[in-house]
Amino acid sequence: MSLSKISLRPYTPKDAEQLELFRTGYYEADVEVPFGYAGQGIETAIAEQDGKIIGAVTASAGVTFDFIHDSAAAGADIFAAVFMLERALALVAQKAGIATAYVAIPSHLKNYIDMVKKCGYAEEFQNCVVLRRPLRQETVARLSDVRDADAKQTTVE
């Protein structure tokens, strides 16, 4: 592999046919581009070597909703709160040019998954692992890191 031989460039409409051939070769992964390869909130970068497309990455401007609630709250109240809060923040995101919204729910919370599906969400990443990389400095410690540190300290004592 030689990085010096790979060039990057923006997507052009003439790339669509080749990218669709690549994309449909991954049926098991359901690689979706529901908003196309370019547009408001959508950008695609092309990697080439010797004038031949090696691959492409399409980025959708998205918002991820994280919902927390009082564990003693009634189910109907939780549903109403989720629905109203998501709608309010989705409107703000949509006005800012965000193309899509995501919510990650632990797979064992079946009732919550069903509730969120009723709000218009659908499973998106079948047979995939969703990974995250922050694009700016995080300002709040991740709970998993805090739990791991607590567990390590408890084990040492």
The verdict on 82 and 11 lying in the same domain is no
Q: What is the pLDDT of residues 80-133, one digit of tens each?
A: 998 899 999 999 999 999 999 988 888 898 888 898 898 889 988 777 788 888
Position 156 in a domain: no
Cβ contacts of 74 within 8 Å, gap of 6 or more:
none
Give CB contacts under 8 A, 24+ apart, made by 69-73: none
Same domain, 49 and 68: no
What is the b/e burial string over 83-99, where b = at least 16 CB atoms within 10 angstroms of the residue's CB? eeebeeebeebeeeebb
112 shares a domain with 54: no
Separation of CA 18 from chain center: 24
Residue 73 and residue 48 share a domain: no
Total number of domains constituting the chain: 2
Angle at 35 between CA 64 and CA 83, to 5 degrees: 35
Same-domain check for residues 110 and 143: yes
Packing angle, helices 75-95 and 110-118, rounded to 10: 50
- Domain residues for 89? 62-148
> Both 14 and 36 in a single domain?
yes
Asked if 83 and 52 sit in the same domain, the reply is: no
Report pLDDT digits (tens) over 20-68: 999 888 777 777 888 999 999 999 999 999 999 999 999 989 998 888 8
Does residue 33 sit in the same domain as residue 110?
A: no
Residues 39, 19 within the same domain = yes
Q: Which of 60, 76, 104 is the last residue of a domain?
A: 60
* Residue 83 zone, left/alpha/beta (φ > 0; ψ -120 to 50; rest): alpha
Within-domain flag for 42: yes
* Global pTM exceeds 0.95: no
| Same domain (yes/no): 112, 129 | yes
Distance, CA of 122 to CA of 120 (rounded, Å): 7
Is residue 55 located within the same domain as residue 68?
no
Q: At which of 60, 75, 101 does a domain end?
A: 60
User: Which residue, of 40, 60, 80, is where some domain finishes?
Assistant: 60
